[in-house]
Amino acid sequence: QVQLVESGGGLVQPGGSLRLSCAASGSIFSINAMGWYRQAPGKQRELVAYITNGGSTNYADSVKGRFSISRENAKNTVYLQMNSLKPEDTAVYYCNTYPYYWDYWGQGTQVTVSS
């Protein structure tokens, strides 16, 4: 059974940093690009960044230069380093394959940026 478990969220002040982690089942991690998505209150879920098996990355314009996605294949883990956080980054953050599969959504991790 595929499982994705996100962690690392929390409350941070504007300008602060957080590092999110996503532990993935080996069965999907080894063959798929992985992505981070987020959903803010009242908004649709959106793609934040993804990373291919070969390490190529792509970012939403809103986070370019501030967020960095990486993966550690030996641990079946994908990370999202978030710097210079803004209040508009407040959302529940999820990981999934890229493109995503509906059945793979986990609980997500809440990120709140507020003073």
User: 107 pLDDT band (50/70/90 cuts)?
Assistant: very high
Helices and strands: H and E segment counts in the chain:
1, 10
Q: In terms of C-beta density within 10 A (0-12 exposed, 13-18 middle, 19 or more buried), how is residue 82 classed?
A: buried
Contacts of 5 (CB under 8 A, 6+ apart): 22, 23, 106, 107
Q: Which of 22-31, 61-70, 103-112 shows the lowest per-residue confidence on average (mean pLDDT)?
A: 22-31
> In this model, does residue 13 exceed pLDDT 80?
yes
> CA-CA distance, 62 to 19, in Å (whole number)?
17
pLDDT of residue 29: 73
Mean pLDDT of 74-87: 96
Mean pLDDT of the chain: 94
pLDDT tens, position by position, 51-79: 998 899 999 999 999 999 999 988 999 99
- Classified as helix, coil or strand, 89 is helix
Of the pLDDT bands very low, low, confident and very high (cuts 50, 70, 90), residue 99 is very high
